[in-house]
Amino acid sequence: MGESNEDIDQMFSTLLGEMDLLTQSLGVDTLPPPDPQPPRAEFNYSVGFKDLNESLNALEDQDLDALMADLVADISEAEQRTIQAQKESLQNQHHSVSVEASNFSGAASLGYGANVTATSVNQYEDDLPPPPADPMLDLPLPPPPPEPLSQEEEEAQAKADKIKLALEKLKEAKVKKLVVKVHMNDNSTKSLMVDERQLARDVLDNLFEKTHCDCNVDWCLYEIYPELQIERFFEDHENVVEVLSDWTRDTENKVLFLEKEEKYAVFKNPQNFYLDNKGKKEGKDTNEKMNAKNKESLLEESFCGTSVIVPELEGALYLKEDGKKSWKRRYFLLRASGIYYVPKGKTKTSRDLACFIQFENVNIYYGTQCKIKYKAPTDYCFVLKHPQIQKESQYIKYLCCDDSRTLNQWVMGIRIAKYGKTLYGNYQRAVAKAGLASRWTNLGTVSTAPPAQPSTGLKTGTTQPNGQIPQAAHSVGAVLEEARRHVETAKDKKPALDNHHDAGVPRAHHAAKSSLVPPPPPVRRSSDTSGSPATPPKSKGTGGIVPSTVAKKPPMPPKRHENPGPPSGGGSGEQDFMSDLMKALQKKRGNMS
Amino acid sequence: MLSSSDFSSASWELVVRVDHPNEKEQKEILLRVSGDLHIGGVMLKLVEQINISQDWSDFALWWEQKHCWLLKTHWTLDKYGVQADAKLLFTPQHKMLRLRLPNVKTVRLRVSFSAVVFKAVSNICKTLNIRRPEELSLLKPSGDYFKKKKKKDKNNREPIIEDILNLESSPTISGSPVSPGLYSKTMTPTYDPINGTPVSSTMTWFSDSPLAEQNCNILAFSQHPQSPEALADMFQPRSLVDKAKLNAGWLDSSRSLMEQDIQEDEQLLLRFKYYTFFDLNPKYDAVRINQLYEQARWAILLEEIDCTEEEMLIFAALQYHISKLSLSADIQDFTNDSEVDEVEAALSNLEVTLEGGKADSPLEDITDIPKLADNLKLFRPKKLILKALKQYWFVFKDTSISYFKNKELEQGEPVEKLNLRGCEVVPDVNVAGRKFGIKLLIPVADGMNEVNLRCDHENQYARWMAACILASKGKTMADSSYQPEVLNILSFLRMKNRNSEFQVPSSLESMDMNPECFVSPRCAKRHKSKQLAARILEAHHNVAQMPLVEAKLRFIQAWQSLPEFGLTYYLVRFKGYKKDDILGVSYNRLIRIDAVTGIPITTWRFANMKQWNVNWEIRQVAIEFDQNVSMAFTCLSADCKVVHEYIGGYIFLSTRSKDQNETLDEDLFHKLTGGQD
């Protein structure tokens, strides 16, 4: 299928590829905090993208209408006419949009012609860790044309496929992107383009590629609320844009990229969380060290059973009273279903416990310097609040522990109760990533995390931690193997998707996705398997090696100006490309009717 | 020939009683045997002498004084030590047994009385289609267990016999009329009637199971909830010491039923004994999951395991959900399934059209997000105007609610627009009082915005409530789960209605449910029925979309997450102590617990265990752990073999590998749990 509209699809993909290149280079190029960066708030909503998106929304709906109409077109002649009308209006709209779109892309990358070959474009697609998807590209999705040679059944099948594809595209078209300024631990910052489907894991992978860090599991995205004096790490399965969307526009909040050993402490030393205080006979000293085998079996017991075991945790904590700066000492217990406390005059038996908070709607944060700000008894505070609350409020709960050990136990315990197996999955992925990174840097390639995998993580993450259907648990040892397989499948998956609209391109080329921004030309693909360290992992270094396509990178500065502002000033060179596209589209429509 | 042996000096007379299946009386038969005759020969002679032609193949000799079977047919009488004073019984090895399953149903089936219990349980599980039989065992209840139960039966209209599912005879005898249900024997997926997801669970893991399909359903479907009275009757709060007594009754897995004085047709409990459930798979484990769910359910209802109120409500919500799904699956089977659906669809269609909303047919514009618009009353607690409900024109679109002074102003600026994404939705309902409130806690940057909506009637409430719930999860009313959610809420309201006079005739109404059946009597006592219903409803929102099997698994998992899960208690005396303590045996650890206060004193993990020994002379179990930690105890509430087997059993279970095809290593089990003789 898809032969008749191959040319269009190629053009789509070309444009798509360029947009990706643009996006990519944007991130890389703003690497040293550049002057032309507009003096905005800490993180910018990239207005350009947003407005465009919004302006396109209405049209997309109609595009879909047309699609639906097309589905039932065969049924009645009368309907046929309305479709025609719709199509006409659609075309009109396409014109107006294409102007907008071309304006944008024109502004973004002047001088990019349609002469970029389709093959390299597909590599671009694969290169970007998130599926690229720029709104306007998906827009002019044509109603499925009749296949000249095929049977009716095949036609129907093709149509169904196209509709599916169209729906996918439509979904992609609504993707929101943010430019996020990430603070590095050397006080520099990096600006990243984050699309709304990206998880913290993807963003971390992105950052790994942009920095020369060792990719170990402790690296995390960290959000800081200076106003509330709270902070926490993003869980790897969390959707970054979703979290950032809760911030107010004038926020002082920051995103940091740093190492925190607390992030996965439980998986490195499970005994500190699971065996602490349990048996008095086994003193703390004996618990500190545990051999790897025992650790593994403890982890397996705790995380790989039908349900995750939440560490038994109880003890007296200080609770800040609502709206006051006084702290009350209460006896708290952690259970899988929430935090409980022992009411006055009651015992610790389960049915007497009073529920303090359940975890569905709150995130856990570390409180910093609560001693000064809230007169906390110690500085070891943790805070529970709904992610959307951004200012001081009685709905934010502050708890204070006696020492940092207890604090870490509580924070980790709550995370285990809240996220369950997802947390372990995150860790395994992080380990795989770190392992791969150290393994593969020798080969000069850094793999991008397969987007498919993390998204399943998200899915399970939204369910209750204890409510998960048991999955086959991976032992840590097998993770590396697993990860390698993921990379393989990711390679396979992508092309499969592409095939929908791009049957002409040989599949083999997709495999060369491992290097980042500038895609190696198809010939050099073999290096991937042969293991020659031809492609350095960092995008910067490749500039010289890769011919033709990368040579086009230099005209960068203009788009940096354009990006935050509304799209304006169309590049005439691009216009040609777009009109080619429109012509092809119309030709296709002609075939249809 | 007979005469020659008569006069041989080594021959003597052996008395054998014969259990005759067709006659009540046992017949005594005199045999002339010699010590070198093997058992097979004895039986042959016996059958000849009885001279009744029938299948004697299941019969074997039982030696009453020694309390053992003479099963090795090539052994001679001398080798067994059988002499003239021996009283032998020639009796069938398989006898009927009544088994009370975890779901409190009793089945009657033929069980081997000669095989060791481990083996017998394996076969029972095979019959019942339960995989992983090593996790189950038979429990002989203490004397008063069934007395309590009988009282309850008197309240019930049916005699006990009616309750028993006879698996031995033709399955059509069984009391309850059933029909092929959700699970089909062939691998074709059937569809869950509520949400249309395929339920591909196939019952028959063991293809040669004699279990008829309809019986499978009894085992695989959850039972209708007990009435609160019956529950209260069964309920008895137990102390740790009481619980310890209950656990003494586990049968010895390495001896046969007959050897443990189990009588024919006696009632035993079949239970999951070891709390590690290996590889629960909805595909094969329909019965296993259901029985596990039932065991968990009863443990919680009867407070065999403690939980907090919040947890109790989650359990209640899941139970409600499960029983509703099971029931609607039943109904679907009895009536023409389209009938119910049509009625429901027509009903909801009518509702929607009456309210002027849009019915969403699939061919309609899929991008058109349905909206709700209506007059509702609003009140905000923060405002000083006390309890003033003010009417506004509300429009629910996408995931937000806007409200206007009146309908005419809808095109203008709303008074306020509330985005419900991420908000908390709390029902504030009193059906009898005709109060249908929705409390919204909407997180905003500087705290929570609390908004109370008040609807006029339940249909309106159901639609708005469902929309709020979906919106809080970021879904719109275009989502396919919207209509089911509306129906869900309506049916829940009807459940609550049962206590008041309102009776909405409905298929779901036949459910004998009220909120008290889902919580323990103690918890029910603490709440008013209406309060309870509202809180269950609240918890129900989080589970309302779950398919049946997933809900059961969720229940099991929540049960597993309870701190006291999997603890089996025994009253013991530790070596070197003067006081009795409770020993808690769990799948991964032993805990010494203070018998009076219930506070854990010491924990030993199996992972650190080096070896354990039993001194059968003084009935003492001694265990050594890493780092030279050791302990020893004698068991007071049960035989030390029971405790020993529990520990060994858990260690055996931890050796299971992930490999599905692995056959059970029965020898290893006996090696780990036996050792007495």
Instruction: Say if A164 is an interface residue toward chain B (CB within 8 Å).
Output: no
The pairing of beta strand B59-63 with beta strand B87-92: antiparallel
Q: Which amino acid is at A490?
A: A
Between CA A243 and CA A225 the distance in angstroms is: 13
- The single-letter DSSP state of residue A287 is H
| The pLDDT of residue A76 is above 80 | no
H-helix or E-strand containing A383?
strand A381-385
Q: B96-170+208-307: which CATH number, 1.10.3330.10, 3.10.20.90, 3.40.190.10, 3.30.70.360?
A: 3.10.20.90
> Domain check: are A365 and A430 in the same one?
yes
* Cα–Cα distance, A314 to A508 (Å, whole number): 57
Residues A420 and A393 in one domain: yes
User: Is residue A505 predicted with pLDDT exceeding 50?
Assistant: no
A375-405 confidence digits (pLDDT tens): 899 999 999 999 888 888 888 999 999 999 9
Confidence at residue B237, expressed as pLDDT on a 0 to 100 scale? 66
Give the separation between CA A268 and CA A427, rounded to whole angstroms. 10
For residues A420 and A311, state if they share a domain. yes
Question: Which residue, A445, A497, A517, is CA-closest to A120?
Answer: A517
A235 and A308 co-located in one domain = no
Q: Do domains B11-92 and B96-170+208-307 have the same CATH topology?
A: yes
Lowest mean pLDDT among A211-215, B162-166, B322-326, B347-351: B347-351
Q: Which residue would you say has higher pLDDT here, B73 or A138?
A: B73
Going by their DSSP bridges, the two strands B106-112 and B164-166 should be labelled as: parallel
- From the CB of residue A186, how many other CB atoms can be counted at a distance below 10 Å? 7
Using DSSP's 3-state secondary structure scheme, residue B417 falls into: strand
**In terms of Cα–Cα distance, which of B388, B349, B372 is closest to B461?**
B372
pLDDT digits (tens, 9 = 90+) for B495-543: 655 544 333 333 344 344 578 888 888 888 888 777 788 788 888 878 8
Pick the last residue of a domain from A392, A410, A434: A434
Residues of B in contact with A65 (CB under 8 A): 365, 367
Contact status, residue A351 vs residue A359, Cβ threshold 8 Å? no
* B610 has pLDDT over 60: yes
Indicate whether A356 belongs to any domain. Answer: yes
Q: pTM of the prediction?
A: 0.68
Q: Higher model confidence: residue B25 or residue B305?
A: B305
Per-residue tokens: B421: 């994404």
pLDDT value for B444 = 81
Q: Same domain, yes or no, for A249 and A360?
A: no
A307 at B interface, C-beta within 8 A: yes
A248, closest residue in chain B (CA to CA): B445
Residue B337's H or E segment, with its range, is helix B337-354
Q: What is the pLDDT of residue B514?
A: 75
Beta bridge partners of B591: B584, B603
Above 60 in pLDDT, residue B383?
A: no
Residue A355: list chain B partners with CB under 8 A.
308-310
Partner A contacted by B72 (CB < 8 A): no
Can you list the alpha helix ranges (DSSP code H) found in A382-478? 404-419, 421-440, 452-462
Q: The domain containing residue A391 runs over which residues? A: 266-277+292-434
Question: Would you place residue B659 in the very low, low, confident or very high pLDDT band (cuts 50, 70, 90)?
Answer: low
Distance CA A560, CA A415 (A): 40
Q: How far apart are alpha carbons A71 and A76 in whole angstroms? A: 11
Which B-chain residues 104-143 have CB contacts (< 8 A) with chain A?
none
Candidate from B307, B560, B629 with C-beta closest to A350:
B307
Give per-residue pLDDT as tens, A136-154: 434 444 444 444 555 677 7
For residue B544, give the amino acid letter: A
Evaluate whether A165 touches A501 at the Cβ level (below 8 Å): yes
Same domain, A222 and A342: no
β-pair type (B59-63, B609-615):
unpaired
In a domain, A104, yes or no: no
The CATH architecture of the domain made up of B370-477 is: Roll (2.30)
Residue ending a domain, among A413, A434, A455, is A434
Which residues lie closer than 8 Å to A197 by C-beta, 6 or more apart? A130, A131, A175, A239, A451, A455
Asked if residue B191 has pLDDT above 50, the reply is no
Highest mean pLDDT among A112-121, B312-321, B341-350, B438-447: B312-321
For the cut 50, the answer to whether the pLDDT of residue B445 exceeds it is yes
Q: Does some domain include residue A205? A: yes
A511 vs A487: CA distance, rounded Å: 10
Residues A565 and A573 sit within 8 Å (Cβ to Cβ) = no
DSSP string, B280-311: --TTT-HHHHHHHHHHHHHHHHTTSS---HHH
Could you tell me which of B148, B144, B152, B151 has the C-alpha nearest to residue B246?
Answer: B144
Q: Predicted confidence band at A574 (pLDDT cuts at 50, 70, 90)?
A: very low
- The whole-number pLDDT of residue A9 equals 58
Show the CA angle centred on residue A205, arms to residues A384 and A521, nearest 5°: 160
Q: How far apart are CA B340 and CA B106, in angstroms?
A: 32
How many Å from the N-terminal Cα to the C-terminal Cα in chain A? Answer: 19
Is 60 exceeded by the pLDDT of residue A581?
no
- Of residues B49 and A168, the one with the higher pLDDT is B49
Q: What does the buried/exposed string (b/e) look like for A324-333 if buried means 16 or more CB atoms within 10 Å of the residue's CB?
A: eeebeebebb
Question: Do residues A413 and A297 both lie within one domain?
Answer: yes
Check if A71 contacts B (Cβ < 8 Å). no
What is the per-residue pLDDT for A500?
A: 43
Q: Tell me: the pLDDT tens digits for A444-476? A: 444 444 443 333 333 333 333 443 333 433 343
Of B544, B523, B513, B548, which is closest to residue B224 (Cα–Cα)? B513
Judge: A351–B522 Cβ closer than 8 Å, yes or no. Answer: yes
In a domain, A282, yes or no: no
For an interface test with A, which of B419, B423, B605, B651 has the most A Cβ atoms less than 10 Å from its Cβ? B605
Quick one: pLDDT at residue A225? Answer: 92
Same domain, A307 and A401: yes
pLDDT of amino acid B449: 83
For residue A467, which residues of chain B lie inside 8 Å, CB to CB? 550, 553-554, 557-558
What pLDDT does residue B487 have?
84
Is residue A363 one of the residues assigned to a domain? Answer: yes
Residue A137: the pLDDT is: 39
- Determine which of A209-213, A538-542, A575-579 has the lowest per-residue pLDDT on average: A538-542
Cβ distance A355 to B276 less than 8 Å, yes or no, reads no
**Domain's final residue, options A411, A434, A457:** A434
> What are the pLDDT digits (tens) for A225-255?
998 899 999 999 999 988 888 888 888 899 9
Give the nearest partner residue to A350 out of B308, B553, B602, using CB atoms.
B308
Tell whether A343 is within 8 A of chain B (Cβ): no
CATH number of the domain at B11-92, out of 3.10.20.90, 3.30.70.270, 2.40.50.140, 3.20.20.20?
A: 3.10.20.90
pLDDT band of residue B111 (cuts 50, 70, 90) is: very high
Q: Tell me, yes or no, whether A242 and A301 share the same domain.
A: no
The verdict on A362 and A419 lying in the same domain is yes
- What are the residues whose beta carbons fall under 8 Å from the beta carbon of B40, sequence distance 6 or more? B73, B74
Count the alpha carbons within 13 Å of A365 in the hemisphere toward its beta carbon: 25
Q: What is the ipTM of this complex?
A: 0.76
Query: Which of B236-240, B300-304, B563-567 comes out lowest in average pLDDT?
Result: B236-240
Q: Which residue of A has its CA nearest to B313?
A: A337
- Pick the residue with more confidence: B11 or B340? B11
Higher pLDDT, A502 or B392: B392
pLDDT at A506 over 70: no
Contact A111, A555 (CB under 8 A): yes
- The span from the CA of A306 to the CA of B552, in Å, is 12
How many whole angstroms separate alpha carbon B81 and alpha carbon B60? 17
Determine the pLDDT at residue A331: 94
Q: For position A395, which CATH number holds? A: 2.30.29.30
Could you give the CA distance from residue B344 to residue B91 in angstroms, rounded to a whole number? 59
Buried b / exposed e along B311-345 (16+ C-beta atoms within 10 A): bbbbbbbbbbbbbbbbbbbbbbbeeeeeebeeebe
**Is the residue at A227 inside a domain?**
yes
> Which residues of chain A make contact with B446, given a CB cutoff of 8 A?
389-393
Distance in Å, alpha carbon of B460 to nearest chain A alpha carbon: 27
Sorting pLDDT into bands at 50, 70 and 90, what band is A57?
Answer: very low
Q: Chain-wide mean pLDDT for chain B?
A: 77
**Mean pLDDT estimate for chain A:** 63
- CA A85 – CA B24 distance, rounded (Å): 91
Which residue's structure tokens are 């589209």?
A: A585
Q: Which DSSP letter does residue A458 get?
A: H
CA of A573 vs chain B CAs: smallest distance (Å): 36
- Cβ contacts (< 8 Å) between B369 and chain A: which residues? none
Mean pLDDT of all residues in B198-203: 38
How many other β-carbons are positioned within 10 Å of the β-carbon of residue B356?
A: 9
Contact map slice: B 445-484 vs A, CB within 8 A: 445-448
A292–B contact, CB cutoff 8 A: no
A182-191, B449-458, B492-501, B561-570 — which is least confidently predicted?
B492-501
Sheet holding B609-615, edge to edge: B600-605, B589-594, B580-585, B568-574, B629-635, B620-625, B609-615
Name the residue with higher pLDDT: B648 or A162. Answer: B648
The β-bridge partners of B506 are none
Q: Is residue A579 part of a domain?
A: no
What is d(CA A542, CA B57) in angstroms, rounded to the nearest whole number?
83
Q: How many separate domains does chain A show? A: 2
Summarised one tens digit per residue, pLDDT across range A283-305 is: 444 445 678 888 888 888 888 88
Rounded CA-CA distance B518/B318 in Å is 9
- CA-CA-CA-CA torsion sign (A40, A46, A52, A55): negative
Domain assignment present for A532: no
What is the enclosing helix (H) or strand (E) of A355? strand A354-357
Rounded to whole angstroms, the Cα distance separating A216 from A229 reads 27
Instruction: Say yes or no: A238 and A321 in one domain.
Output: no
**Token pair listed for A502:** 């791009």
CA B590 to centroid of chain Cα atoms:
25
Q: Suggest the residue from B283, B557, B629 to mutate for an interface test with chain A (most A CBs closer than 10 A).
A: B557
Per the model's pLDDT, the better-predicted residue between A422 and B177 turns out to be: A422
- Give Cα B340 to chain centroid, integer Å: 29
Contact A389 B446 (CB under 8 A): yes
- Spell out the domain ranges in chain B: 11-92, 96-170+208-307, 370-477, 568-674
Contacts of residue B319, Cβ cutoff 8 Å, sequence gap at least 6:
B225, B297, B517, B518, B555
Domain shared by A248 and A299, yes or no: no
Q: What CATH number matches the domain at B568-674, 2.30.29.30, 1.10.540.10, 3.40.1710.10, 3.30.9.10? A: 2.30.29.30
Q: pLDDT tens, A328-382?
A: 999 999 999 999 999 988 888 888 899 999 998 899 999 998 888 888 999 999 9
